[in-house]
Each structure stands twice: as structure tokens, then as C-alpha cells.
Amino acid sequence: MKADALRGHLDALLLAVLDGEPRHGYAIIEALQERSGGSLALPTGTVYPALRRLERAGYVESAWSTVGGRERRTYRLTNAGRKVLAEERSAWQEFTATIGAVLMPPPATA
């Protein structure tokens, strides 16, 4: 997948993988890969700064936890993050419907 295609959507993707359960940074990266069928292999240098930005905005909270005997920062959605995620999902549906209407040829008529 082209990196340019992700521009403007990274925050929504991160919020989406945090929807439902808290995750530590590496688990977030793994969830993105898994949900995308391997198409999204984002480096930590992209993900962690975005998580810090989302935390400063109040959309995620983090806390240190022990996972497998290792100390890791675990991130979870806040109520504000859930609201933003719902808005992002709605905007994405509208965007894909609009672009799809233009890119997809109309059905052939007999």
C-alpha cells in the first residue's frame, strides 16, 4: 500500500485498533497488520509519535503495565477518543461512497 494513501488516516486507524481493548504499542502495530491482511506494516517511528499526539489531544490515555513480565506502556481510548472515532468512521463511509460513485462505472443497461 502506498504510504501517501495513509496520510490523514493514521489517527483513525490507531483509534480503531484501540476500540474494544487497551493495547501496548507493539500490539497496536500487530493489530494493524492483522486487520489489513499484512498490507499495513507501520514502523514504530510512525506509530509512537502518533500515539503521543493522540494522548496530548485527549483521545487516548496510557499507563505502564506488565505484559509477559515486561513493563510496557498500554494505551486505551478515552470517551473523547470514542467520539472522534465514530466521527471518523462516518466521514470515511461518506468519503468512500462518494469516491466509489465516481470511480466505479455505472451498471450497464440493456
Task: Quote the percentage of the chain above a pLDDT of 90.
Answer: 70
Q: How many CB atoms lie within 10 A of CB 82?
A: 14
Confidence of residue 35 (pLDDT cuts 50, 70, 90): very high
- Which pTM was predicted? 0.85
Output the nine-digit C-alpha cell for 3.
Answer: 504510504
User: 64 pLDDT exceeds 60?
Assistant: yes
From residue 48, give the alpha-carbon distance in Å to each of 24, 54, 84, 86.
10, 10, 19, 22
10-18 and 44-56 helices, crossing angle to 10°: 80
